[in-house]
Amino acid sequence: MKSTQKLNVSNPNVLLGLSAFLILLGGMMTDPLADGVCFALAGIIAAAAWVKGKRWTRWLAFGFIMIAAALAVHNFPEARRHWDFFRRK
């Protein structure tokens, strides 16, 4: 069977799924700079879901924004040290 359905990225539920995926992906990476990029993208995508969503979708998007922000802030000192080391080499 051939499926003709496409991923609708304007759907807030799809955006929340992508945001959750990026948060999990960022948590599994070992490079602190890549972690920060994943957390930042997850926050931006969750903000887009927050703007487009309704009721529970907004609450979940707000939670993802807070989680992504907390993880990014927690990750920042290690990413800064990693970037300084990379720049010296």
pLDDT (tens digit per residue) in 41-62 = 999 999 999 998 888 999 999 9
Distances 64 to 10, 78, 80 between C-alpha atoms, Å: 17, 22, 23
On the question of pLDDT at 33 being above 90, the answer is no
So what's the pLDDT on residue 1?
53
Domain boundaries, the chain: 32-88
The pLDDT value recorded for residue 77 is: 84
Amino acid at 76: F
Q: For the stretch 6-40, what's the b/e string if a residue is b when 16 or more beta carbons lie within 10 angstroms of its beta carbon? A: eeeeeebeebbebbbebbeebeeeeebeebbbbbb
Confidence of residue 34 (pLDDT cuts 50, 70, 90): confident
For 57-82, what is each residue's pLDDT tens digit?
999 999 999 999 999 999 888 888 88
Is 42 buried (19+), middle (13-18) or exposed (0-12) by CB count in 10 A? buried
